[in-house]
A = this chain, B = another copy of it.
C-alpha cells in the first residue's frame, strides 16, 4: 500500500526532526508533499478539513514555525499579505507567478551561487539564503 508507506515516511520524517507525529501534522505534511504550489495557512486548513481534520489556525501557524525551524518547509513570500509554505524535500527552486491568473510555476535551475561568491568577495556579505521570484504573464494569459 503506497499510502501506508507514505504515512510511515511522514511519521519517521517527523520523528527524525524531533517532532511528535500527531494526526494533524501527518495530514499537513502529506498535503504539503503533494501540493504543486506553495500553500498558505488558510488553504492548508481547508485541505485538512477535506481529510476530516479540523484544527485551530493557531495550531497550523505554530506548526509552520516548528516545521520551518526543523527545516521541513520553506517560507515563500510572493508579495502577498500572507506567507506560503513549501515542502523542502522538493529541492530548491524559484517561481514564476502570473499577474493575471495567479498560477505559480516552478523554475528549477538556479545558478545564483556564483553571485554569492562575488558578494562575499566584493561586499564581505555571507549569503545564507536568497529569494528570487518572477512576476509576469503565463503562456495562457498573453493576449
Interface residues in chain A, defined as those with a beta carbon under 8 Å from any beta carbon in chain B: 75, 77, 79, 96, 98-99, 105, 107, 112, 115-116, 119, 123-139, 142
Contacts and interface: CB of A to CB of B under 8 A. Distances in A.
Contacts of A139: 123-125
Q: Oligomeric state, in number of copies?
A: 2
A94 to B, nearest CB: 9
A60 to B, nearest CB: 16
Interface of A: prevailing SS? strand
12 contacts: A77-B77, A77-B79, A105-B125, A107-B123, A124-B142, A125-B139, A126-B136, A126-B137, A127-B136, A128-B136, A128-B137, A131-B135
Given A79-B77, A107-B119, A119-B96, A134 B130 contact: yes
A26 to B, nearest CB: 27
B123 A96 contact: yes
Contacts of A79: 75, 77, 131
A92 to B, nearest CB: 14
Contacts of A125: 96, 98, 105, 134, 136-139
A88 B94 CA distance: 25
A20 to B, nearest CB: 28
